[in-house]
Structures are given as C-alpha cells and as structure tokens.
Amino acid sequence: MTTIILPQFPDNQITLSLFTNVQNSSQIRAGLTSSDHRLSQLAVLDATTLVSTSHVLAAVSRAVRDFKTGHHRTRTINSEIVFAMSGSNNIADALRRFGVKDESTALLVVQVCHDGGGGDGQAQDGVNVEEIVDGTKVDVTDEAIAQLTNLAVVKKNYKLPQTVSLTDTERLASLVVGAVSMRGYL
C-alpha cells in the first residue's frame, strides 16, 4: 500500500493498493454496481490498463480537482477517477475499459480519504482493502505496474502509434498522462 498527499490537495490522502492473482473480480464488480458501502469508497482499476504511478496519479489529481471545482461528470469521486483514466468523454466506455472486469486478475485500488479537520486522513469507515480483494498484495511501483501492463490494450485505449513500445517507458507514460490531462480540452 502506498499513501500519497498531492501538494495541490493537502486535505486528501490518496491510498493505492496493487493486487495480482485476484480471484474475486466478478464479486468486486458486482459489489461496485450494488449498494456495498465498503466498495463505494474505492476506485478499482484493471491494472493491465495502467503504465505507471504517474498515470494513476494524473487521473486521481484530475478527478479530485474536478470534484472540488464542481466540474465532475460522475456521481462519486471513485467513478470520476475511473472516468479520468480515459482519453475520451464517454463515461460508460471509460468504466468498461479501465474499471474492474469479471476476468481481471490484477487490480489497483484507489481510496481518497478526506481529512475532515481531525488530521488523521482516515476514510469514514476505515475500509480495509485486503479484506475485500482476494489476491496477492504487491508494492505499488512503476516496475510492478509495468510487469502487468498489456501494451496492446493501452495502445488501443489511447489510440497510440504502433511505434510506441513498453521499453520506452518515459514516452509511453508521457503520452498517456497527456491524454488523461488533456481530455475535453482538445
């Protein structure tokens, strides 16, 4: 688990948890669409669609900013994070491409905790992600994410040129972070 405070949003604590060998993706997906209160506090991403921590944090930053300024397009910060991963303005398409799928075996779970002035940054119900995801927890690093990345899916999702390779991580990360950051402005 990695905990981050974005400098521009010091009242929000961002927690990232990465899991491989996930066995209960279909249950998690079903819980996200039902009224499971624990899951409603989480953004669950298919880790094979990610290229780096910068990629994830660009989407989280955009989602938090959009919520704080009233420019959000979804009902919750968590669905806004999944939507922010997309380079397009189609919410349903973003949820389908970047959210948890029944067959997902690698997940990155994002939790945005609001510090209501108590200084502890804890989520209201203190959701323990390890109790929800049946999988192997691994450190959230660019290397761990890169091992899970499905380059063909990333290229398709962001309409990247065929010349982009997974070994050129700086260019790949730059292209997807740019797509996340610029969605809706071009």
Would you call 120 exposed, middle or buried from its count of C-beta atoms within 10 A (0-12, 13-18, 19+)?
exposed
Give the position of tokens 């209501």: 116
CA gap 112, 15 in Å, rounded: 7
Average pLDDT, the chain: 87
Q: Which domain holds residue 111?
A: 2-182
On whether the CB atoms of residues 85 and 45 are closer than 8 A, the answer is yes
pTM here is 0.88
The amino acid at residue 88 is S
The pLDDT tens digits for 14-66 are 999 999 999 999 999 999 888 778 888 899 999 999 999 999 999 999 999 99
Distance of CA 142 to the CA centre of its chain: 14
Assess whether pLDDT exceeds 70 at residue 184: no
The pLDDT tens digits for 47-56 are 999 999 999 9
- Nearest 10 degrees: CA dihedral of 103, 36, 99, 91? 140
* CATH number, domain containing residue 158: 3.30.2380.10
CA gap 8, 95 in Å, rounded: 26
What is the token pair recorded at 25? 């993706």
| Mean pLDDT value of segment 137-157 | 94
What is the token pair recorded at 22? 């996930």
Distance of CA 117 to the CA centre of its chain: 26
Total structural domains within the chain: 1
The pLDDT tens digits for 108-142 are 999 998 754 433 434 444 688 999 999 999 999 99
